[in-house]
Structure 1
Amino acid sequence: MASITVSVPGKIYLLGEHAVVYGKPALLAAINKRVYATVSEARSSEHHIEAEDKQFVANILSLVSQHLKTESIPPLSVKVTSQLKKGYHLGSSAATAAAVIAGCLYFLKKIWNPELTNRLAFESEKVIHGNPSGADNTAVVFGGIIWFRKELTYLKSIWQLPVRRTKLLRNFYLLDTGKPEETTKDLVAAVGEGRENQPGIYERLFNRNEFETKKLAEALKKGDETEFMGAIKAGSRTLEKMGVVSTRVSVLIKQIEKIGGAAKILGGGGKKGAAGYLLAYHRDVKIINHFTGQRKITCENAILGEEGIRLEKG
């Protein structure tokens, strides 16, 4: 074949980030922004990579080679294009890894196996995040709304929720607060340090986060907007108390609540100022656009529950 193209969506955490690292559940959703990887035969004796992070892609190719139990795979041309902002907690690294891995496996061996792609993408995530939960790669590979819990080091509970295309999933917006100074790896480590120093307090925060995550899933299934928004607000408070929400972003969240919405950080968050995208829910697009326009904040509609990995061409 001349070339193949695979696409993978980005993801957001509806709730459960950080607590998920310690065995609590997380609710994630694939979004309508994707990463595309096109794989073909290279015209030279070496791999040709077009990507924002060429070394990361090179590492992924080495991982594929190891899986196929060969010293090296044939020289490939790999082009990665992305609709996801890197460093904004949208699962950019997980989506890139999954797209490249799936593209290479299909191009080289005609293997189309999302489970395998997910497992190898998790290995790639370890290079970027140190101690990832495995939730990001799972959400982007399988898509939809994902209930994820790491039960043991070797055992994970993964369920794609049977949620219909409710209007609740179409009333979300991504508000750009700026790129965080810290990486997800930094913020995961900071929560770990806080847990080590104050185990009782953090255990209570993780337990409350779990309660609100379950409440959110039930509200989503029932289509109960009031309960849905309440769970987002309460879950957001637990993240603030974990120390991953800066004062500036915390103020912005409370302002959104005052105009009838709900909001929370995505993924890692941000301690010092910017936190990447803020996930905001509001039923009235005019009100949220007026709010962000007054403050000169970039605002994009985000559709949740989108399709996972797919073969675009091949």
Structure 2
Amino acid sequence: MFAYSKIKVSAPGSLMLMGEHAVLFGEPALACAVDAKLVVTLQPRQDRLVRIDSALGQYRGSLDALEPMAELAFVLAVIERYQMHLSHGFDLHILSGFSHTVGLGSSAAVTAATVAALAAYSGQSTEPEALFPLALAAVHQVQNGRGSGTDLAASLYGGVIGYEMSPAEVRPLPGLPSIALYYSGYKMKTPAVLALVEQKASRQPELYAGLYRLMGQTCRAAEQAVRDQDWVSLGELMNIYQGLMDALGVCDATLAEMIHRLRAEPGCRGAKISGSGLGDCVLALGHLDAELPWEAIPVTVSATGVEISYETN
């Protein structure tokens, strides 16, 4: 008999507040969890089967011989890491409260939630500091070693975090800033954006290295502004960071129009691209009530990260 009939884990989506691109070159990043949630429910089985039910696909296989499935690659990579600790299989149901097409860190959220569910199922620690290395290893397995882990850390810890990649360090920060998010209507995949930036950087390596250092300086100042809950300074630093993103070549005409329209709105303290750029979302700091010609994504900063609940028969 199992101690629980069901393990339910919710993980928040996440947003990059600052640190895009530069975090991959040893500079700090700033991210937050958001109130859009993804929920993973695990039900123990008496046999060794693994069944996964998700909007991205259905999976059925043996815990002893997992078959690859691209749509569920992050989930299966996590399961691989727990194979040796599991005596029985399970059914996994994944329900997302937000679309994977909008940059709210859906891959990080499902990875974080699955790691927490399997840690609980196998009787291991479910503290964020124990889950994070396992979750990051799964992401790196799927992405051929790429991925900073910033979004994972935000999903696991909740609230606003400062983060550095190597060695990985997560710094939970106080305060929950007011934010608004707008979707441009299109996005370029992050690896493709990184490849374009890499091409540009190869022609001006010293200048790009200088840009990354400036991004790091800006992000460190922004982290202090969050600690002080100085939202005016944070907004100014967001605008500065956006200028550096523009210099990297990841701001197109639509994003530029969105940013300048948002900055003109009462209540907006700052606005910048959230994510790698060349599409996806623009983030604004402050209270905005404007009717703008882009899709508003209703989000607030979530104080909580991964949460686990248990049901008994």
Whether TM-score is above 0.5 comes out as yes
Cα contact 1:40–1:107 (8 A) shared by 2:
no
Cα contact 2:159–2:301 (8 A) shared by 1:
yes
Q: Which residue of 2 aligns with 1:97?
A: 111
Q: Give a deviation string over 1:26-61, Cα, whole Å, max 9, x none.
A: 011111111110011358863221123343546534
Q: Which residue of 2 aligns with 1:2?
A: 5
Alpha-carbon offset, residue 105 of structure 1: 2.2
Of 14, 28, 53, which aligns to 2:31? 28
Change (3 A) 1:77 1:247: same
Q: How large is the Cα RMSD of the aligned pairs?
A: 2.4
Change (3 A) 1:192 1:306: farther
* Structure 2 counterpart of 1:74, one-letter code: H
Q: Give a deviation string over 1:124-149, Cα, whole Å, max 9, x none.
A: 22214751112121111111211111
Of 301, 304, 308, which aligns to 1:311? 308
* Structure 2 counterpart of 1:255, one-letter code: R
Alpha-carbon distance in 2 for matches of 1:94, 1:205: 27
Of 295, 300, 305, which aligns to 1:298? 295
TM-score by length of 2: 0.84
Whether 1:178 aligns to 2:204 is no
Change (3 A) 1:102 1:236: same
Cα contact 1:87–1:183 (8 A) shared by 2:
no
Cα contact 2:258–2:282 (8 A) shared by 1:
no
Q: Give a deviation string over 1:160-183, Cα, whole Å, max 9, x none.
A: 12x234xxx12x111121231x21
Alpha-carbon distance in 1 for matches of 2:111, 2:87: 17
Q: Which has the higher helix share?
A: 1
Whether 1:257 aligns to 2:268 is no
SS in 1 for 2:227: helix
SS in 2 for 1:47: strand
Alpha-carbon offset, residue 253 of structure 1: 0.7
The equivalences for 1:157-306 within 5 A come to 157-161=169-173, 163-165=174-176, 169-170=177-178, 172-180=179-187, 182-260=188-266, 261=268, 262-270=270-278, 275-283=279-287, 285-286=288-289, 288=290, 290=291, 292=292, 295=293, 297-306=294-303
Change (3 A) 1:10 1:194: same
The equivalences for 1:98-177 within 5 A come to 98-109=112-123, 111-126=125-140, 127-128=142-143, 130-151=145-166, 155-161=167-173, 163-165=174-176, 169-170=177-178, 172-177=179-184
Alpha-carbon distance in 1 for matches of 2:298, 2:73: 33
Bigger Cα displacement from structure 2, 219-228 vs 134-143:
219-228
Percent identity, aligned pairs only?
23
Gaps of 5+ in 1: none
Q: Any runs of at least 4 consecutive aligned residues in structure 1 with deviations exceeding 4 A, and if so which?
A: 42-45
Alpha-carbon distance in 2 for matches of 1:43, 1:299: 45
Cα contact 1:129–1:184 (8 A) shared by 2:
no
Alpha-carbon distance in 2 for matches of 1:150, 1:256: 31
SS in 2 for 1:8: strand
Alpha-carbon distance in 2 for matches of 1:220, 1:6: 28
Q: Which residue of 2 aligns with 1:16?
A: 19
Q: Give a deviation string over 1:174-208, Cα, whole Å, max 9, x none.
A: 1121231x212222233233323321121121122
Report the number of matched residues: 293
SS in 1 for 2:181: strand
Change (3 A) 1:26 1:77: same
Whether 1:52 aligns to 2:48 is no
Gaps of 5+ in 2: 58-68
Cα contact 2:158–2:304 (8 A) shared by 1:
yes
Bigger Cα displacement from structure 2, 245-254 vs 59-68:
59-68
SS in 2 for 1:239: helix
* Structure 2 counterpart of 1:309, one-letter code: V
Change (3 A) 1:119 1:110: closer
Change (3 A) 1:100 1:213: same
Cα contact 2:74–2:110 (8 A) shared by 1:
no
